[in-house]
Amino acid sequence: MKNITIQDIANEASVSKATVSRVLNNTSPVRPDKREAILEAIQRLGFKPNVVARSLAKGRSMTIGVLTQNIGSPFYDTISQGVIAGLGETGYSPIFADGQWQRGAEVEAIQALIGRRVDGLVLIGGDIPAEQLEELCRDLPTVVVARQLPSDHHHCIFTNNVDGGYCATRHLIENGHREIAIVRGIEHHPDAIDRYEGYKRALAEAGIELDPRLVLPGDFSAESGVSAIDDLSERGRTFTAVFAANDTTAFGVRLALYRRGLRVPEDVSIVGFDDQAEAAFMAPPLTTVRQPGREMGALASGSLLELIDGKPFESRPLLAELIERESVGRGPGA
Amino acid sequence: MKNITIQDIANEASVSKATVSRVLNNTSPVRPDKREAILEAIQRLGFKPNVVARSLAKGRSMTIGVLTQNIGSPFYDTISQGVIAGLGETGYSPIFADGQWQRGAEVEAIQALIGRRVDGLVLIGGDIPAEQLEELCRDLPTVVVARQLPSDHHHCIFTNNVDGGYCATRHLIENGHREIAIVRGIEHHPDAIDRYEGYKRALAEAGIELDPRLVLPGDFSAESGVSAIDDLSERGRTFTAVFAANDTTAFGVRLALYRRGLRVPEDVSIVGFDDQAEAAFMAPPLTTVRQPGREMGALASGSLLELIDGKPFESRPLLAELIERESVGRGPGA
DNA sequence: TTGTAAGCGTTATCAC
DNA sequence: GTGATAACGCTTACAA
């Protein structure tokens, strides 16, 4: 059973290919009876236009390239979902390529996407320098999510991480905590750097001196949350609160505390970052800084389509907002 | 800057398009000096073959359609990741469409994928009846993941859920529990049905009578885990263990228990299903039945490529194995 | 309103 | 070995 083409329909309805194409795209009026005949033939033969051929002819593939960092981070997964959802019924389909948080792979992934003649690009996170990106994606509509690029010639959708880190830390301070540990994210990761910056800022503002013993390295994993608490405890540095680089790390922190018989929030308070789905069901529910991943993804694909249509990119800043739940209690200074 | 084509290269190297195509696909020998000239021109002009045109000409799009159920389930996300990873450097790219666990949307999604002339289909979960699937995907290589279809004409990759449910429950029984509650998944969902089946089987085998008051409805959400425990407690039915439909539900169960001051595992034991990333960091770490989502996804895309190459589908059954952690303790009968 | 025919960028089939 | 040239399935001037 070979695929039926526009020609078959044309034959069946005794018209030309061109006319069939016209009703398919209603690009110009067609006499009602012919239109009927064509529609009927399409129905009867179950004709589906070949998107590939159409792409070639129009020079638009109706396809969006999505660069992911395929590492099983719930936050990035949520963004991907938002991107897919945002494309919804638009006729565009997302095609994925994985950057694996490695520059080489990332460049290859982007090139593969471009080779497929995608009409636009959504870059989720990523690591390659702005100039290289610039060159790679020249004159291809591109939106970057969860990453802030210096030049505002790029179209970025992100939340303010320093602000988020600041809010998280200030919340702890306002609750009477002064010995606040932080478990950082991957050292060179911009988000990690920004959240740390916010932490320092809140501390400074409150006149609390930064104690290097309270800043622990991490990598956004739960394991790093565990190690951080273990290190802290073994070194005997006291602390009454922990700001974790993200929720995943917070879970690790919570587990380590549990292991040591420390109660949350009576003995130690925790605040996380992201508000991933599981955060609300930690025991106790995790107070965290919410990043609206799904919205970010949907906004990215939506903006991209507008960009493709020649509309300007509207940069609507997204809020990283503190969600107060139950993992923060009153500290000694309260 | 218009895209450069194979014709430009041909001109540049003073050969015909055909010859350029030959070196591109090394489909037949080409005189070394010409080959050099062509390669050089490609390099110099930065030529990238147009995948769309190639697809049209060859009748293969080098594209795999992936049907997802875009609902933010960590398990399904993991499968998607596995699919992407499994495609890796094969030259195939995955293109996604969302079924939203709704038949209508699912059919449309599959049709959209087919319209794009994908070379094969990976269906993650899904709800439409086998016969309809049959008809929809006729003579298009298809692999179904995380779903077991009756006809073995379909190629399915799944774990044995009744077995998993059985192991989970038996583990609880072996630890001396007899009052074992179950929080079920979505009522008509095959996985939910199977896990429940396993539960009943283990109970029967141990000569424990099924108490309807201990089987609670659920929908795979954490909320349903909370409600289940709340219901159970309010109705005053005693229980010493809970088998949750999946880990997400288990988290809800754990939270509800925490709220009521019940300790895990001293007062109540829990076992989940899936082994999603967060399970190992619940406090205490969750004993659960592991489904290897990433492997399943990778296996799916791998098998699909073999199918496309005309090789037969090898059905390797995947194990749902019990991962013992710390959420199960000795029950009264131990 | 409709048909003819020329692309779109490759691959594939022929001859030479 | 290599170059014309006809597909591939559709869109889109350009005529009619």
Secondary structure letter of residue B117 according to DSSP: T
CA distances from B31 to A136, A207, B9, B36, B43 (A): 33, 76, 16, 9, 18
Q: Give the CA A143 to C1' C12 distance in Å.
A: 39
pLDDT score for A71: 79
pLDDT confidence of residue A139: 83
Distance between alpha carbon B243 and the CA centroid of its chain, in Å? 22
Phi, psi of A242 (to 5 degrees): -135, 130
- d(CA B192, CA A85) in angstroms, rounded, equals 26
Q: What is the pLDDT of residue A152?
A: 77
% of chain A at pLDDT higher than 70: 100
A56 touches strand C (CB under 7 A): yes
Query: Are residue B127 and residue B195 in the same domain, yes or no?
Result: no
Q: How far, in Å, CA of A295 to CA of A101, rounded?
A: 22
Question: Which run of H or of E encompasses B124?
Answer: strand B120-124
* Contact between chains at A98 and B115 (C-beta distance less than 8 A): no
Tens of pLDDT, residue by residue over B111-132, are 999 989 999 999 999 989 999 9
φ and ψ at B3, to 5 degrees? -65, 140
Residue A253 has which token pair?
């922190």
Name the closest residue on chain B to residue A76, using Cα atoms.
B77
Task: Identify the pLDDT of residue A38.
Answer: 96
> Is pLDDT above 60 for B1?
no
**Nearest Cβ partner of B94 from A81, A96, A225?**
A96
Count CB atoms within 10 A of the CB of residue B172.
27
Residue in the block written with tokens 């040591």? A260
Single out the residue of B284, B281, B278, B287 nearest to residue A226, CA to CA: B281
Rg of chain A on CA atoms, in Å = 26
Query: What does the mean pLDDT of chain B come to?
Result: 95
CATH number, domain with residue A100: 3.40.50.2300
* One domain for residues B36 and B182: no
Tens-place pLDDT, residues A180-204: 999 999 999 999 999 999 999 999 9
Check pLDDT > 90 for residue B313.
yes
Cβ of residue A18 near strand C, that is under 7 Å?
yes
Q: Nucleotide D1: nearest residue by CA–C1'?
A: B30
Q: Which helix (H) or strand (E) holds A97?
A: strand A93-98
* Interface residue of A93, A139, A259 to substitute, partner B, most B CBs within 10 Å: A93
Once rounded to an integer, what is the mean pLDDT over residues B71-86? 93
Q: Considering chain A, what percentage of its residues have pLDDT values greater than 90?
A: 90
Nucleotides of C under 7 A from a protein CB: 1-5, 7-13
Model pLDDT for residues B79-94, shown as the tens digit of each residue: 999 999 999 889 999 9
Query: C-alpha distances in angstroms, B251 versus B173, B220, B256?
Result: 21, 11, 9
Alpha-carbon gap: A175 to the closest alpha carbon of chain B (Å): 22
pLDDT > 70 fraction of chain B, expressed in percent and rounded: 100
A121 and A233 together in one domain = no
Q: Which of B101, B129, B120 is nearest to B62 (CA)?
A: B120
Instruction: Provide long-range contacts, Cβ within 8 A and 24+ apart, for B156-159.
Output: B156/B315, B157/B296, B157/B299, B157/B300, B157/B303, B157/B318, B158/B296, B158/B318, B159/B291, B159/B292, B159/B296, B159/B317, B159/B318, B159/B319, B159/B320
* Two tokens, residue A328: 């923060």
* A294 chain-B contacts, CB cut-off 8 A: 72
B234 & B128 share domain: no
Strand partners, A318: A159
For the CA of A25 and the C1' of D15, the distance in angstroms is 21
Which of B90, B110, B116 should be substituted to probe chain A, the one whose Cβ sees the most A Cβ atoms within 10 Å? B116
Residue at B101 is within a domain:
yes
Q: Do A261 and A116 belong together in one domain?
A: no
Residue B329 resides in a domain: no
Question: Which residue of chain A is at minimal alpha-carbon distance from B69?
Answer: A81
The total number of residues shown for chain A amounts to 334
Contact A96 B95 (CB under 8 A): yes
Tell me what pLDDT residue B48 has: 93
pLDDT tops 80 at residue B231: yes
Are the C-beta atoms of residues B301 and B87 closer than 8 Å to each other? yes
Rounded mean pLDDT, A88-107: 93
CB contact under 8 A, B278 and A251: yes
What pLDDT, in 10s, does the model give residues A17-45? 999 999 999 999 999 999 999 999 999 99
Interface contact B255-A282, CB threshold 8 A:
yes
Tell me if B278 and A96 make a contact (CB, 8 A cut-off): no
B85 with B151, same domain: the answer is yes
CATH code at position B42? 1.10.260.40
Give the whole-angstrom CA distance, residue B54 versus residue B52: 5
Confidence check: pLDDT of B334 > 80: no
- Quick check: A88 pLDDT over 70? yes
How far, in Å, is the CA of A24 from the C1' of nucleotide C4? 19
3-state SS assignment for residue A281: helix
Q: What is the mean pLDDT of residues A265-286?
A: 98
- Rounded to 5°, the CA angle A214-A220-A223 comes to 80
Q: Is the same domain home to A169 and A25?
A: no
Greatest distance between any 2 Cα atoms in chain B: 88
Chain A residues in contact with B70 by the CB 8 A cut-off are 81, 84-85
Is A159 in a helix, a strand, or coil?
A: strand
The shortest CB-CB distance from B95 to any of A94, A281, A285 is to: A94
Nearest CA in chain B to A264: B283
The Å distance, CA of A294 to C1' of C15, is 59
**Does the CB of A27 fall within 7 Å of any strand C atom?**
no
Strand C and B51 CB separated by under 7 Å: no
Note whether residue B205 is domain-resident: yes
Question: Among residues B254, B313, B334, B257, which one has the least CA distance to residue B287?
Answer: B254
Q: Which amino acid is at B9?
A: I
Of residues A84 and A316, the one with the higher pLDDT is A84
The residue of A278, A301, A325, A327 whose CB has the most chain B CBs within 10 angstroms, and thus the best one to mutate to test that interface, is A278
Specify whether A217 is located in the same domain as A279: yes
User: Residue A81: which residues within 8 A CB-CB, separation 6 or more?
Assistant: A293, A294, A297, B70, B72, B77
A50 and B139 within 8 Å at the Cβ level: the answer is no
3-state helix vs strand vs coil in chain B, percent to 5: 45, 15, 40
Distance of CA B196 to the CA centre of its chain: 20
Pairwise CA distance, residues B58 & B61, whole Å = 8
C1' of C8 to CA of A116 (Å) = 15
The mean per-residue pLDDT over the stretch A216-241 comes to 97
Residues B52, A52: C-beta atoms closer than 8 Å: yes
Give the end-to-end CA distance of chain A in Å, rounded to a whole number: 77
Q: Are B257 and B179 contained in the same domain?
A: yes
* Per-residue confidence (pLDDT) for residue A1, from 0 to 100: 58
Cα of first residue to Cα of last residue in chain B, in angstroms, is 77
Give percent of chain B with pLDDT exceeding 90: 89
Q: Residue A222 is nearest to which of B55, B95, B281, comparing CB atoms? A: B281
Strands A287-290 and A321-323, by their bridges, are antiparallel
Tell me how close the Cα of A120 comes to any Cα of chain B, in angstroms.
Answer: 14
B284-310, pLDDT tens digit by residue? Answer: 999 999 999 999 999 999 999 999 999
**Would you place residue B72 in the very low, low, confident or very high pLDDT band (cuts 50, 70, 90)?**
confident
Cβ-nearest to B52 among A93, A117, A282: A117
A37 is in which domain, residue-wise? 6-49
Length of chain B: 334
Q: List the A334 CA – D3 C1' distance (angstroms).
A: 87
> Which residue out of A95, A275, A281, A295 would a mutagenesis test of the B interface target, given it has the greatest number of B Cβ atoms within 10 Å?
A281
Q: Is residue B283 predicted with pLDDT exceeding 70?
A: yes
Question: For residue A207, is it within any domain?
Answer: yes
CA of A33, C1' of C14: distance in angstroms: 44
The answer to whether residues A144 and A244 belong to one domain is no
- Residue B38 covered by a domain: yes
Q: Which residue is nearest to nucleotide D2 (CA to C1')?
A: B19
DSSP state of B279: G
Shared-domain flag, residues B199 and B222: yes
Chain D bases closer than 7 A to any CB of the protein: 1-5, 7-13
What is the average pLDDT across B69-87?
92
Distances (CA, A) of B322 to B206, B208, B240, B286: 19, 21, 19, 11
In total, how many domains does chain A have?
A: 3
A111 touches strand D (CB under 7 A): no
Q: How far apart are CA A11 and CA A15, in angstroms?
A: 6
- If asked whether residues B250 and B230 sit together in one domain, one would say yes
CA at B95, C1' at C11: how many angstroms apart? Answer: 24
